[in-house]
A and B are shown apart, each in its own frame.
Chain A
């Protein structure tokens, strides 16, 4: 429990706004205790910058306990940094060494335009869900919950897929900036559950079409997404999404539902 103090050098991507030129700035974080979280270390750097009258480093965060999916920084080339199954807000400075150089970059993807510094716009993910990542059930019209037994194994697997926090690390880590893991996790979660059957074919077609429309790349099966995912969402869901889409194309008798608007 002894506090160890370290100094690190940060090279941070600074960009004033969308479509503005960006570049790296260097900051020295001194006397950082190893019990600090990575974002707390940035807080300390930022507070110092503010007091000196310089604009602090903009980065996204909220819950700081690894569940809201807001934070995300590429730390030394790895989305969310060096610790496996850990969001950058849960990463602690004991993972770094005294004197280490740390490079901080935003998620880089055409589908995630940079808003400022390390903050990107992930609204593409919301639009993918809007395209069909739901089960249409009118409030109040649900039937008794235990009427439909669902095998434990099915519920557990659906939960594995549903664990995605929508942080976008999969896109950031993918050499093709593909959003396949995110999209596949939601398609799989809902297609596994009996409640999700009615819209199953339509959902797969519409969500994949939206994923493509957002400008994300294609999956070429590198597995980087799975390795970077802080929640361990599995690559197998991508195979499942592919199967769902082929199935939807082969089986369904009508063209995909067009947008309501």
Chain B
């Protein structure tokens, strides 16, 4: 524990925490997305899947506690790094031209808080205060039939895509998983995962709006 704390005190350690907690969250996001695909199989499939999950309270609460920890660690270290990095620059450049960084990397400090708001809204809407407790299918479809809510989900998922694209690539770097021969695959993997998640997730509101998925 002593050593873990010492590691955490370094900037490198904080990045390792970002990477590991981010990894847990991405893992959950992938699982969550796969489960949500039941939407396309109809109300019975989705509601059945939800009911089955809730019949396993150990799994549900275990996951929730793990995620709470992961989010806490992720946000906490992000905040500390952000504070540090802002003060490390000192005075700003009058002119500044980026050579290598990309939009996703530059906007991490924006997409992060956006995702937090999105997450809170998402939890309130579907987990904490659902309109029809027990009927996940109806909750989802009714919500997405409202174009404003769908638009918000679209935006949230684009932010998610950007955030996990840079996050996944970055996580390999932060935990030191690199090898000259395989380094090019890290970027490919980041593109693949973030693309699948983003496209998959935005397909839900679009399908509802397009009338492909209906009540």
Chain A nearest Cβ from B103, distance in angstroms: 11
- Assuming the contacts A221-B166, A239-B176, A242-B12, asked whether A110 and B89 have C-beta atoms less than 8 A apart, the reply is yes
- Assuming the contacts A77-B96, A219-B11, asked whether A175 and B106 have C-beta atoms less than 8 A apart, the reply is yes
Asked whether, in the complex, the Cβ of A218 is within 8 Å of the Cβ of B81, the reply is: yes
Chain B nearest Cβ from A149, distance in angstroms: 22
Asked whether, in the complex, the Cβ of A242 is within 8 Å of the Cβ of B16, the reply is: yes
- Interface residues of B: mostly helix, strand, loop or mixed? helix
Question: Complex: how many Å from CA A208 to CA B84?
Answer: 15
Asked whether, in the complex, the Cβ of B176 is within 8 Å of the Cβ of A242, the reply is: yes
Chain B nearest Cβ from A40, distance in angstroms: 22
Question: Complex: how many Å from CA A218 to CA B96?
Answer: 19
Chain B nearest Cβ from A76, distance in angstroms: 6
The interface residues of chain B lying within 8 Å CB-to-CB of A246 are 7, 12, 16, 175-176
Chain B, interface size category, equals 35 or more
Contact of B14 among A77, A110, A218 (CB under 8 A): A218
Asked whether, in the complex, the Cβ of B15 is within 8 Å of the Cβ of A227, the reply is: no
The interface residues of chain A lying within 8 Å CB-to-CB of B173 are 219, 221, 235, 238-239, 242
- Interface residues of A: mostly helix, strand, loop or mixed? mixed
Known interface pairs A244-B176, A249-B6; 16 further A-B residue pairs with C-beta atoms within 8 A, sorted by A's residue number: A109-B88, A176-B84, A177-B85, A209-B10, A212-B10, A218-B11, A218-B12, A218-B88, A235-B173, A236-B183, A239-B172, A242-B15, A246-B7, A249-B13, A250-B3, A255-B6
**Which B residues fall within an 8 A CB radius of A?**
3-4, 6-7, 10-16, 81, 84-85, 87-101, 105-106, 108, 166, 169-170, 172-178, 180, 183
